[in-house]
Amino acid sequence: VNGPGTTTTGDVLWPYIAISPDHTAIYIVGSYDNTSSASAVGYIQFGTFSLDEAGKATFNGNAWSQAIGDTNSNDANAGYDEAGDYVLRVSPQGKIGLLWRETDYVDQAINLYFIESTDGGSTWTPDNFSPLESAVDQGTTNGGNEVYSGPWSGLDFFYAGEDAKILWTSTLQLFPSTGGNTYF
């Protein structure tokens, strides 16, 4: 999904698209593969395509307009995403909403974020990236396993008119002292 003028450092993974109410634009988010990392992780990229009458899509501007939550922005790595855990929707009046789960196991940051744009993705609000919900350390079990509760699964939202209705499942995850993890 790399377009002309792309600013990514690798391939875009797990693309998610939404279409404008007038069917003239396609909005797309994807996690770009951080080629300096041994695993397929990176930050969320956002871009738009224009659709002509024949249905041909052309990247707008310089392809990917921005990296959401990249290390060089004011959101302290909020867009770090490991598995395409995001949802992109458009309201009936054209407001774009983006819901995602940051999954940074290295820094123990598992947070749920939501932002909206009323100008086709040029700017987003809020711009301070305050989490809706964060994973919480529930302590260590007698066996030495770490337990966290948080927004691990069931991520979705929809627009009821212009109001976003956000859904997620808060579950427990066990990080065994022997490695790996288990949801329960």
109-120 pLDDT tens trace: 678 889 999 998
61-70, 91-100, 125-134: which range is least confident on average? 61-70
Q: CA-CA distance, 68 to 86, in Å (whole number)? A: 12
Which helix (H) or strand (E) segment holds residue 176: the answer is: none
List, in order, residues 6 or more apart from 54 with CB less than 8 Å away.
Answer: none
16-20, 22-26, 107-111, 118-122: which range is least confident on average? 107-111
Q: What is the DSSP string of 121-160?
A: TSS-B-SS---SEE-EEEEE-TTS-EEEEEEEEEEEEEEE
Q: Which residue has the tokens 């499942």?
A: 169
Work out the pLDDT band at 1, boundaries 50, 70, 90: very low
Q: What is the pTM of this model?
A: 0.78
